[in-house]
Amino acid sequence: MKPVRVLVVDDSATMRGMIASTLSRAQGIEVVGTASNPLEAREAIKALNPDVMTLDVEMPKMDGLNFLDKVMRLRPMPVVMVSSQTARGAEATLAAMELGAVSCVAKPTIDNPGAFDSLPSQVVAAASARIGERVRPAMAAAPGYRWNGRIVGIGASTGCVEALLAIMPSFPQNGPPVLIAVHMPENFTKSFARRLNSVTDAEVMEAQDGASLAQGRILVAPGGVHIEAVDAARPHCRLRQGERVGGFRPSVDVLFHSMAEHFGAKAVGAILTGMGSDGAAGLKAMREAGARTLGQDEASSMIYGMPRAAKSCGAVEIEAPLQDIGRRIVELTSWERR
């Protein structure tokens, strides 16, 4: 198998060296070039034709977002954003992922020296991502919704920004309680929740430990923390550190297993685009407990890994394109369509 050929773009020589060194040590990856700014990167893309580019948002001579926009219009390719963990960095990275970047990795800090541990796997996954086809947002929520008591869990990884922004408009103001677990760096999920909140009539926020699972409330698990749905008599979310599960925290499996245990048939689970198999076992447990389960189809997934794993083990009851996922969730949590 040919190695994934990577172009590293960052204005800091130190950071370029760290990224290149991390990737060069990984099996199946070849760093074919580096660039210190978008103008150099443009020439390197033409000369080297890389499979994947890592890109910093804040660079001289051209803003990283403007450069990414040009790349996605003129020469679409898989891009992994490498960003600072500041609020500004998080906002810019989310904007980049809306423009078509595949995923994001935070730059190492004193508090998080291992931030690059996932970089090689993100780059390898990006190489196989479906690029260039933008997903249209779902239709706005239909009026007259009546909640039937089911709560919802959603899990996603690579491609999660585009996927969740597409389905959020389907949820009405009085929609079902929703818990979301995504593989996203710490300090990014608060900005992500704010962005999701801007495209739906429901209330989206980063989850806090003990928050009630109330109608019209959508809770996003903070990066670096597991989220669980507990106590069917007084439904609320529980946040906990714990060990990484399958390499992830939050883990979609942890969320889905908690829903199977505490809510059984009074739940709906949906697994969206992402690499690997996180969520497959948990979604199967939900289905076996009587919950309704959905999986995103291959054609609409940026990466079909997680939905494929869930389908293969029998966890998926309904497979649907991303455009239909939000509507199907609303139907399954409504008295009108059970």
> Do 31 and 8 meet the contact criterion of CB atoms below 8 Å apart?
yes
How many whole angstroms separate alpha carbon 307 and alpha carbon 319?
9
Among residues 183, 226, 257, 262, the one annotated as catalytic is 183
Q: What are phi and psi of 9, to 5 degrees?
A: -120, 115
Q: Is 253 a catalytic residue?
A: no
How many whole angstroms separate alpha carbon 84 and alpha carbon 94?
12
Based on C-alpha coordinates, what's the Rg of the chain? 20
Q: Is 262 a catalytic residue?
A: no
> Do 316 and 310 meet the contact criterion of CB atoms below 8 Å apart?
yes
Q: Is 157 a catalytic residue?
A: yes
Among residues 278, 297, 301, 324, the one annotated as catalytic is 278
Angle between helices 305-312 and 280-288 (to 10 degrees): 40
Among residues 84, 128, 157, 300, the one annotated as catalytic is 157
Three-state SS string over 283-324 comes to: HHHHHHCCCEEEEECCCCCCCCHHHHHHHHCCCCCEEECHHH
The secondary structure of 93-147 as a DSSP string is HHHHHHHT--EEEEPP-SS-TTGGGGHHHHHHHHHTS--S-PPPPPPPPPS---B
How many whole angstroms separate alpha carbon 54 and alpha carbon 213?
38
Q: What is the DSSP letter of 18?
A: H
CB atoms < 10 A from the CB of 135, how many? 17
191: helix, coil or strand?
A: helix
Catalytic residues: 157, 183, 278
